[in-house]
Amino acid sequence: MIMAEPAEPTDLEPAADAPVAEMDLVRRAQRGDLAAYDELVQRYQERIYATVYHMTSNHEDANDLAQDSFIKAFQALKSFKGGSSFYTWLYRIAVNKTINFLKQRKNRTHMSLNDLDFNTENNPDLVALISDKTPRRDAGLKELQEKLNAALLKLSEPHRLVVVLHDVQGQSHEEIAEIMECNIGTVRSRLFYARQQLQSLLTDYLKPT
């Protein structure tokens, strides 16, 4: 009988020990080990913060909501049975918290945008977007940033979430469907509609390159 050799882990498939390590951290955190939970927070803090920030366009709100999400996740950790990955479960908490916050804050949006990093001007796609008539390149990018965030805030929360998760954070349709607890078709249709709306809102800035 010929035994098949175990396949080498690829880039697409996470290494076998990665989820085990995560589940180990989760089990320790469920027993009240704060050092283990600290490691989980460090592992996902940037992604959770970024999602909340892109949804709110406000750094202070994103800071509060991201921290609250991690605290709520710790308090509810005993109810986590491992039906989905910890990351997906955590994302759901953060997304629900953010959507509830945005619904409460309806029509009282206040942008507090983070600065663009120094790599922005080296991105050829972004440089191409800046009008030749713009006297200063910095001013052009800043203006584009504000217009883009204002347009995003005009989308409904589910449409904004899909476009943020897919087009900004690069998550797959399947991952988004799992986070939003809907089917992939819904994700695709929401993404298409959200892009259409953004395109019409930003029509003055979207010149063909």
Give the binding range for other proteins (CB under 8 A) out of 4-12, 14-22, 82-90, 111-119. Answer: 111-119
* Both tokens assigned to 132: 């030749």
Query: Minimal CA–CA distance to 182: which of 69, 52, 95?
Result: 95
Q: Smallest distance from the beta carbon of 74 to other proteins, in angstroms?
A: 5
Binders of other proteins among residues 18 to 77 (CB under 8 A) are 34, 37-38, 41-42, 45-46, 49, 53-54, 59, 66-67, 70-72, 74-76
- CB nearer to other proteins: pick between 13 and 121: 121
Among the listed residues 93, 100, 90, the one whose alpha carbon sits nearest the alpha carbon of residue 61: 100
Nearest-angstrom CA–CA distance, 169 and 208: 24
Closest contact distance (angstroms) between CB of 6 and other proteins is 34
CB atoms within 10 A of CB 41: 19
Of 161, 16, 155, 183, the residue nearest 91 (C-alpha):
161
The vertex-44 CA angle with 168 and 27, nearest 5°, equals 145
Contact predicate 152/198, CB 8 Å: yes
* Rounded least distance, CB 88 to other proteins, Å: 18
- Give the nearer residue to other proteins in terms of CB position, either 6 or 124: 124
Nearest distance in Å: CB 161, other proteins: 13
Locus of tokens 């347009």: 151
Smallest gap from Cβ 10 to other proteins, in A, equals: 23
163 vs 180, beta carbon nearer other proteins? 163
Instruction: Write out the two tokens for 143.
Output: 């203006």
Check residue 123 for interaction with other proteins (CB under 8 A).
Answer: yes
Q: Which residues, 6+ apart, have CB-to-CB distance to 151 below 8 Å?
A: 198, 201, 202
Q: Are 121 and 141 in contact (CB under 8 A)?
A: yes
- Residues near other proteins (CB under 8 A) are 34, 37-38, 41-42, 45-46, 49, 53-54, 59, 66-67, 70-72, 74-76, 79, 113-117, 119-120, 123, 125-126, 128-129, 141, 144-145, 148-149, 163-164, 167-168, 188, 192, 195, 198-199, 202, 205-209
